[in-house]
Amino acid sequence: MRFLLNYKLLLIIVALFTILTRFINLSNNPPHLSNDEISIAYDAYSVLKTYRDEHNQFLPLSFKSHNTYKAPLTTYLTIPSVALLGNTNFAARLPTTLLGSLTVLVLGLLVYQLSGNRFLGLLSSFILSITPIHILASRMAFESTNALFFFVLGLYLFIYSLNKNKSFFTIISFIAFALSMYAYHTEWVFTPFIIIVLFILYYRSLTNKKIFFAGLLIFILLIAPLFIDFLNNMHSTTRATTDNILKDPTLAQKLENPSFLAWQKISFIFQAILEKYSSYTNFSYIFFSGHNLLPKDDPFKPGLFLFTFLPFFLFGIYKTRDIYKTNAKFIYILLITSPLTASLTLGPPSISRNLISIAPVSIVTAAGLFMFWNISKLIWKLIFAIFLTIALFYFSVVFYYHFPKDNAEGFQYGYEQIANFIKPRYQEYKKIIIDPRFGPVNIYSGVPHLYIPYYTYLDPHKLQNRKSLKHGSSFDKYEIREYYWNEEIEKDTLVVVPVSNPPNELFKVRFVYEVALPDSKPAFYIYTSSKD
């Protein structure tokens, strides 16, 4: 009875946390659609209206985006929500938020299947429901969030089919695995690897081996178009060729240096991968400071997981063997190998590339928390509850209060507001020039050519037929290019410039609007050559 009470209470808490943390103020936190989000949202809108993306490609399997060649699933999933809810932030984020929320449920079911303990399953759901990085990833149109959902779903269905001896679910699990590969690039490497691991570890438990191979065949058939597209359009390998660790400037320099021997070059590659792997598995990064919600040196920056869970994660590593028994080996492999794909890539630690790791970390932490809950006295449980409340409180104020204020510029904040300014006045101007630079001394370059058409519902054909300019592009009455105030300005022109590029006093333009960041600092100024 006590267990049932705990179970029901925890179920309600998990559902509440999942919904509240992921859906409250979804449109405005993160404060603006990011660079990648707007690309997904705009391509969804463009495909919805014309069956073609911003680059005029017919129903692509790899969206060129800003030369980042995005995996297709998230964009296609966004089409229905954009069709139903219009070109809004909410519509762009809703599919990911729904799948992110469902991941909490599916992870719990997976842990239940792995351990045979539904309280443990619920604990893992609870951990994921309040995991800072998954909250953020569920609130953005993140490809990796959707990939994580399908990956965890695939695992759950596979283990379920083994436990219940229901072959049909093996087939479905392979479909989920295939979808995970359509959702994000990390899974291109990781999902096939895990399928091999599953085959090796559970080969003896497979009562119907033919079904496994039938599932595998379906999986191969399903991902075939993705790879045919990959081979036919080698440009879509851009990401694999430019983002891989061999392109790291320091490493590349050493590899090109003829004075180093072959074994030394291999050692350099190994060192680079080890360093990357080390940064992804660094406890400080995972539990204390890896979540870049605040500026770099801000001590209030949270980790990917709440710091309270660190001791349970460590205890969980130790106890996984006892709790997950025959499945423990699989969990250890998942835990050790999940950061590997991300470790083969360039640049600083990326949350999206390594999002897959949050599944094994949650599973292991749940084991530690479960054991703690079973063996500890009430006083320790109370101490845990106090620390958890403190960690949650700090994360909440950082995420819901400070982050939208402190980090708005990083999300190219302002273009939605500019679009909202332009939309009712569109007919008043013959030309609209937008300088895409922003940030202190204009160090960043934004993508207003996507934000403005998305929020103003511009006919996608116009962007598909854009013309290239010397330093930008033009479509419809828009010119997206760096603007310098020594140019002649035509009559009835609207000029949007970043705050670091104001006109000099001699220039006869009329100031019409200021777009401010959430912390009230100005971000963009809008001027016109019109007199009224």
Partner 1 sequence: MQTITVSPIAISSFLCLIINVFFSNNNIISSLANSLALGLSIYLAQSSISLPKTKFLLFFIPLMGFIPLFHYAPIDNVFSLFLLLILIFLCLLQKKSNIFLLILFGLVIFIGNLYLSGLVKPFFEVQYPLFIFNSPEVNFNIQRHQLDALYIPYQLRLIIYSQLINIYVFLANLFNLFNIKNLSDILLLANFYPFFLGLYNFFTKKTTLTKIYLIAIITTFFIAGIDRSIGSFKSLYLLAPVFVYIILLGFKSINKVFYLIIFIVSLFILISPKL
Residues 6+ apart with CB under 8 A from 392: 130, 306
DSSP class of 49 = H
Report the residue from 402, 431, 461, 481 that binds partner 1 according to the rule CB under 8 A.
402
Alpha-carbon distance 328 to 114, whole Å? 9
The gap from C-alpha 181 to its chain's centroid, in whole angstroms, comes to 14
Q: Say which residues have a Cβ less than 8 Å from residue 367's Cβ, sequence separation at least 6.
A: 115, 120, 315, 316, 319, 320, 323, 324
Q: Which stretch binds partner 1 (CB under 8 A): 49-57, 142-150, 164-172, 274-282?
A: 274-282
d(CA 519, CA 300): 18
Secondary structure (DSSP) of 371-402: HHHHHS-HHHHHHHHHHHHHHHHHHHHIIIII
Report in angstroms how near the CB of residue 13 gets to partner 1 at its nearest.
24
Of 4-12, 18-26, 399-407, 471-479: span binding partner 1 (CB under 8 A): 399-407
Residue 30 or 303: the one with the smaller Cβ distance to partner 1 is 303
CA distance linking residue 130 with residue 364, whole number of Å: 16
Query: Interacting stretch for partner 1, rule CB under 8 A, among 117-125, 285-293, 349-357, 459-467?
Result: 285-293
Q: With binding defined as CB under 8 A, does residue 521 bind partner 1?
A: no
Binding of partner 1 by 401 (CB under 8 A): yes
- Region from 108-116, 166-174, 199-207, 394-402 binding partner 1, contact rule CB under 8 A: 394-402
Q: Is 297 in the site for partner 1 (CB under 8 A)?
A: yes
Two structure tokens written together for 481: 């290019």
Please report whether residue 277 would count as binding partner 1 according to CB under 8 A.
yes
Which of 70, 185, 239, 254 lies at the binding interface for partner 1 (CB under 8 A)? 254
Binding status of residue 300 toward partner 1 by CB under 8 A: yes
Least distance (Å) from partner 1 to the CB of residue 350? 17
Report CA-CA distances (Å) from 56 to 44, 49, 143, 239, 462.
13, 12, 21, 20, 10
Long-range contacts of 465-472 (CB under 8 A, 24+ apart): 465/56, 472/436
The CB-of-491 to partner 1 minimum distance in angstroms stands at 44
Bridge partners, residue 516, by sequence: 522
Q: Which CB, 212 or 384, lies closer to partner 1?
A: 384
517 binds partner 1 (CB under 8 A): no
Residue that is written with structure tokens 């609207």 in the block: 494
**Residues touching partner 1, count (CB under 8 A):** 38
Give the residue with the Cβ less far from partner 1, 150 or 399.
Answer: 399
Q: With respect to partner 1, which residue has the nearer C-beta, 282 or 473?
A: 282
| Residue numbers at the binding site for partner 1 (CB under 8 A) | 250-251, 254, 260, 263-264, 266-268, 270-272, 274-275, 277-279, 281-285, 287-289, 294-295, 297-300, 307, 310, 318, 397, 401-402, 405
